[in-house]
Structure 1
Amino acid sequence: MPWRPIPVRPAILILGAMILLACGGCQPERELRLAGKTMGTTYHIKVVAGLFTSGADLQEQIDDRLAAINASMSTYDPGSEISRFNGIDSTSESFSPSNDFLNVLQVAAELHRLTNGAWDGTLDPLITLWGFGRKGTVDRVPGDDDIDRALAHVGFGRIRLDPSGTIGKTDPAVTLDLASIAKGYGVDAIARLLGERGFSNFLVEIGGEVFARGRRKDGVPWRVGINRPDKGAALDDVYRAVPLTDRAMATSGDYRIFFQVGDRTYSHILDPRSGRPVSSGVVSATVVAANCTVADGLATALMVMGPKEGLALVDRLAAVECLIVVRQPDGTLIDHPSSGFVIH
């Protein structure tokens, strides 16, 4: 009987397939870069991904998630959840929010409590009055009576969060503007999406707010720059660089959105307690925290609180660090870092 070779190729193919399946992440890696527009700004994402990961599919998932958040919290969209809630003119009406909207409101309530009202999500009438809202700039200083009338309907305690999960108002005229934490929430949502899809090394940035997971493709920790707090500074003019791993970072400043009357500059950062632009001397506040929603809101609050009160708050909070920058009368910048803040 003639000798016949034993067929082995199918077994080799099966074994090869098993090795590929077992190896999972052994395929060559690349840094996938995605970018787009959302929430009136831009986003940029870097993902350390397998060579065959579809960037188009991932971008579609990211855009869909951001569109849902924008449809919830954009005051520029008359059909958004926040616009519909703001339109309620009764204290007896209850509103059933989406999980996104409710999650942000719960963080907002905690931020308001922690900062003793230095952060407040009900500044909408003041934002409009000073010309920083959806109705455009006014380039004038409101009168004291106008400010007092707007302040009469400001205060997060006027928002009712019911144990049932519904929300309402104790003042029918109170309205919400969550722009100071919505971008941070968007960053957290996309970081969660990427984690659920198996990615462990990525950087998510929306309008300057950031979350970093793991490391870059070359194994080096992610580094995020803080923009130089000068009115004429380019967006890529780095004042300080911060190494970031498994943390969020957000920066608030008074040097991008403002108007001038005579030699006086009025920033878009408003003090909820006075109804006027901040006058703490702080030009930039950066917060590093476990999630970007909290970091975003705290950065705004520190602009209002100033270095002494702000550092005292951050030092009481676990796993939160900050850098508060104050401009001196002669124009020099003075850094006020918390004890654990790391800069390069």
Structure 2
Amino acid sequence: MPETKYMTTFIFALMLLMGTTLFLPARSLATQEYVFTGQTMGTTYSIKLISAKPLSKSLWQEKIDLRLKQVNACLSMYQKESELSRFNAAPEDQIFRVSADFYQVLEQCSRLHTLTSGAWDGTVKPLVDLWGFGTKGRRDKPPKPAEIKTALKSIGFNKLKIGDHNLTKTMPGITLDLGSIAKGYGVDEIARLIREGGIDNYLVEIGGELAAAGENKHRTAWIVGITNPEKGFLNSGLYKEIRLDNKAIATSGNYRNYFEKNGHTYSHIISPKTGYPVENGVVSASVISDTCTWADGLATALMVMDVHQALALINSLENTECLIIRQEGRKRTALRSSGFKFINKSG
């Protein structure tokens, strides 16, 4: 009898141990970090997936690269056969049928243009090219006022007619430049791909634009840095760090892409209204929002807008925050929307 009691106790203890193991919370299971890197959209990408179950790294690499290739084939200005390039080459009044990707981006573009009163305008390509920051090569001096005046005639997102998955130019010379939103859309699409694959913890980065969800391998919220906006440095360090909790962040700045002439600096951030590089003292604008597409476009718009109007706009939007850095001589000022928080509270 004692032997039978011992065996019963042993079996019960074993069942209890097994049961405890089976019903442990998912977050206590061992997790592994999978890192994917590569090139896309003229820049680099870095993606981290955190999973408690084994993943096929080769399969995920293939899925990521394929989706990025599809997005690039849609929105690239540098691929002659991309959907965007084919639209730019299309004549006036021709109804151009667009893909689902293109249409989703166009809807965001239209909303951005209206919300920012034209500060974001996807038709600035003639001006960007004229100033030497586009597809026609660099230049080392400003264009002539008459050239700028001519280019301005081909600017205006409202000169496009957007229908049900179609797009039409209402006047000749209209071209699209979606470089200020394409990377953000790429980030969102990879994040969607990951979620559909059943993975809840990830960090996606393309050319500095990011989206994060869940937790990192240390089971804490993702921490990302905002670049220090220093001219002339490829790696100027971090300005501040923030927690990115199921959000996206995008930053636009004028401290890397510019040229100087006769002591004057001309940046690639061109006002669609004046035709000249913006001179409002803003050197960097970062936006946190639910999607990277939206954050990417808004960050560009904030570079163009009056800083006080920009802050007022962001404070009026739900689930959206911003950090705007201004430079006046050697003095640098950081302006934040009401809910923007640094990890270092002294910032």
Alpha-carbon shift at residue 235 of structure 1 (Å): 2.9
Shift of residue 25 of structure 1?
8.5
Gaps in structure 2 of 5+ consecutive residues: 1-17
Matches within 5 A, 1:35-184: 35-50=37-52, 52-91=54-93, 93-162=94-163, 164-184=164-184
Q: Is the 8 A contact 1:43 1:206 kept in 2?
A: yes
Q: What is the rounded CA distance, in whole Å, between the counterparts of 1:52 and 1:341 in structure 2?
A: 36
Instruction: Report matched runs for 1:252-291 at 5 Å.
Output: 252-291=252-291
- Counterpart of 1:336 in structure 2 is 335
Task: Indicate conservation of the 8 Å contact 1:39/1:74, yes or no.
Answer: yes
- What is aligned with 1:203? 203
Q: In structure 2, do the counterparts of structure 1 residues 341 and 171 end up closer, same or farther at CA, with 3 Å as the change threshold?
A: same
Aligned: 1:220 with 2:220: yes
CA shift for structure 1 position 333:
1.2
Residues in 1 aligned to 2:323 and 2:226: alpha-carbon distance in whole angstroms:
10
TM-score computed with the length of structure 2 as normaliser: 0.90
Letter in 2 for 1:61: K
User: Residue type matched to 1:195 in 2?
Assistant: R
Residues 52-94 of structure 1: CA deviation (Å, up to 9, x unaligned): 2111110110000000000001111110101110011221x11
Cα offsets for 1:231-258 (capped at 9, x unmatched)? 1344360001111010000000000100
Q: Distance in 2 between matches of 1:25 and 1:299?
A: 35
Contact persistence 2:321–2:340 (CA under 8 A) = yes
Q: Distance in 1 between matches of 2:37 and 2:236?
A: 17
One-letter amino acid of the counterpart of residue 222, structure 1 = W
Retained in 2: the 8 A contact 1:284–1:324?
yes
Residues 236 and 196 of structure 1, relative CA distance in 2, 3 Å threshold: farther
Cα gap change, 1:319 to 1:24, in 2 (>3 Å): closer
Shift of 1:167: 1.1
Q: CA deviation at 1:282?
A: 0.2
SS of alignment partner, residue 240 of structure 1: strand
Cα drift, residue 146 of structure 1: 0.4
2:185 counterpart letter in structure 1: Y
CA contact (8 A) 2:99 2:165 kept: no
Q: Name the CA shift for 1:108/1:66 in 2 (closer, same or farther; >3 Å).
A: same
Q: Could you give the per-residue CA deviations for residues 176-215 of structure 1, whole angstroms, max 9, x where no partner exists?
A: 0100000000000000000000110100000000001111
TM, length-normalised to structure 1? 0.91
Offset from partner CA, 1:2-61 (integer Å, 9 cap, x none)? xxxxxxxxxxxxxx9xx99x9998863211111000000000011102452111110110
Contact 2:131 2:143 in 1 (8 A): yes
Rate the CA distance shift 1:328–1:23 in 2: closer, same or farther, 3 A. Answer: closer
Cα distance between partner residues in 2 of 1:25 and 1:221: 13
Output the amino acid matched with 2:181: I
The AA in structure 2 aligned to 1:336 is L
> What is the DSSP-based 3-state SS (H/G/I as helix, E as strand, rest coil) of the residue aligned with 2:97?
coil
Code of the aligned partner of 1:239: Y
Partner of 1:10: none
In structure 2, relative to structure 1, the CA distance for the partners of 1:243 and 1:24 (3 Å cut) is closer
1:184 and 1:209 in contact (8 A); partners too: yes
| Percent of paired sites with the same residue | 46
Question: Do the aligned partners of residues 54 and 236 (structure 1) sit closer, same or farther apart at CA in structure 2, a change above 3 Å counting?
Answer: farther
* Distance (Å, rounded) in 2 between the aligned partners of 1:300 and 1:24: 40
SS at match of 1:270: coil
How far the C-alpha of 1:135 sits from its partner, in A, is: 1.5
Q: Deviations over 1:99-155 (max 9, x none)?
A: 001110110010000000000000110011000011210111011110011010100
Q: Distance in 1 between matches of 2:45 and 2:222?
A: 17
AA partner of residue 82 (structure 1): L
Q: How many aligned residue pairs are there?
A: 324
For 2:46, give the aligned amino acid: H
